Amino acid sequence: MPRVKVKLFADLREIAGVKEDFFEAGTLEEALRELVKKYPALEKKIFPDGELNKSLNIMVNGRHSELQKELSEGDEIAVFPPVAGG
Domains defined along the chain, listed by start: 3-80 (3.10.20.30)
Assessment of whether the complete model's pTM goes beyond 0.95: no
Amino acid occupying residue 39: Y
pLDDT at 83 over 80: no
- Identity at 55, one-letter amino acid code: S
pLDDT at 82: 85
pLDDT number for residue 84: 67
Above 80 in pLDDT, residue 9?
yes
* pLDDT class of 13 with cuts at 50, 70, 90: very high
**CA 34, CA 11: separation in Å to the nearest integer?**
19
How does pLDDT run across 28-78, given as a tens digit for each residue? 999 999 999 999 999 999 999 999 999 999 999 999 999 999 999 999 999
CB 16 within 8 A of CB 9: no
Higher-confidence residue of 56 and 86: namely 56
Contacts of 17 (CB under 8 A, 6+ apart): 39
Angstrom distance (rounded) from CA 11 to CA 60: 20
From 64, 9, 58, 4, select the one nearest 31 (Cα to Cα).
4
